[in-house]
Amino acid sequence: MRRETDFSLLKYNTFGIDVRCRDFFEYESVDELADFVASGALEGRRWMQIGGGSNLLFLSDFDGVVLHSKIDGIEIVPADKPNEFFVTAGSGVVWDDFVAFCVDHHLGGVENLSLIPGEVGASPVQNIGAYGVEAKDVIYEVQAMDVTQGKMCRFSNAECQFAYRDSYFKHHTNYIVTRVTVLLHSEEGYQYNVSYGNLLKAIPEEMAFSLSLIRKTIIGVRNSKLPDPKEIGSAGSFFKNPIVERSLYEALSKDYPEMPFYEVPDGMVKIPAGWLIDQCGWKGKQLEHAGVYEKQALVLVNRGGATGQEVWNLAEQIVASVQKKFSITISPEVCVIR
Q: CB nearer to ligand EPU: give 42 or 315.
A: 315
Q: Is 237 in the site for ligand EPU (CB under 6 A)?
A: yes
The one catalytic residue in 20, 165, 179, 215 is 165
User: What DSSP string describes 217-252?
Assistant: HHHHHHHHHS--TTTSEEEEE-BPPPEE-HHHHHHH
**Annotated catalytic residue 123:** no
Cα 83 to Cα 308: distance, rounded to the nearest angstrom: 47
Asked if 296 is part of the footprint of ligand EPU (rule: CB under 6 A), the reply reads: yes
Cβ closest to ligand EPU, residue 95 vs residue 131 = 131
Nearest residue to 233 (alpha-carbon basis) of 60, 58, 9, 14? 14
Ranges within 186-225 binding ligand EPU (CB under 6 A):
196-197, 225
Q: Give least dist CB 243 to ligand EPU, A.
A: 11
Question: Per rule CB under 6 A, is residue 275 in the interface with ligand EPU?
Answer: yes
Where helices occur in 12-133 by DSSP H, the ranges are 30-38, 95-104, 123-126
Q: Strand 262-263 vs strand 269-270: parallel, antiparallel, or unpaired?
A: antiparallel
Q: Which is nearer to ligand EPU, 48 or 335 (CB)?
A: 335
Report the DSSP pairing between strands 62-69 and 20-27.
parallel
Q: Is 57 in the site for ligand EPU (CB under 6 A)?
A: no
**Number of Cβ within a 10 Å radius of residue 189:** 8
Q: How far apart are CA 197 and CA 221, in angstroms?
A: 11
CB half-sphere exposure, 237, CA atoms < 13 A:
20
If binding is defined by CB under 6 A, does position 304 make contact with ligand EPU?
no
Whole-angstrom distance, CA of residue 251 vs CA of residue 256: 9
The gap from C-alpha 255 to its chain's centroid, in whole angstroms, comes to: 33
HSE-up of 191 (CA within 13 Å, CB side)?
Answer: 3
| Binding window for ligand EPU (CB under 6 A); candidates: 99-107, 167-175, 248-256, 295-303 | 295-303
Active site residue 165: yes
- Applying CB under 6 A, which of residues 13, 114, 123, 241 lies at the interface with ligand EPU? 241
DSSP H or E stretch at residue 279: helix 273-279
Which one of 36-44, 92-100, 154-162, 273-281 is the stretch in contact with ligand EPU (CB under 6 A)? 273-281
Pick the binder of ligand EPU from 105, 106, 170, 240 (CB under 6 A): 240
Q: What is the DSSP letter of 208?
A: P
Decide if residue 269 touches ligand EPU (CB under 6 A). no
Told to check if 284 binds ligand EPU by CB under 6 A, we report no
Nearest-approach distance from CB 152 to ligand EPU, in angstroms:
29
Residue 278 binds ligand EPU, judged by CB under 6 A: yes
281 binds ligand EPU (CB under 6 A): no
Please count the other Cβ atoms lying within 10 Å of the Cβ belonging to residue 281: 12
What character string, x for contact with ligand EPU (CB under 6 A) and - otherwise, covers 107-146? -----------------------xx---------------
Instruction: State the residues that interact with ligand EPU by CB under 6 A.
Output: 130-131, 196-197, 225-226, 236-237, 240-241, 260, 272, 274-275, 278, 283, 296-298, 333
Q: Which residues are catalytic?
A: 165, 237, 333
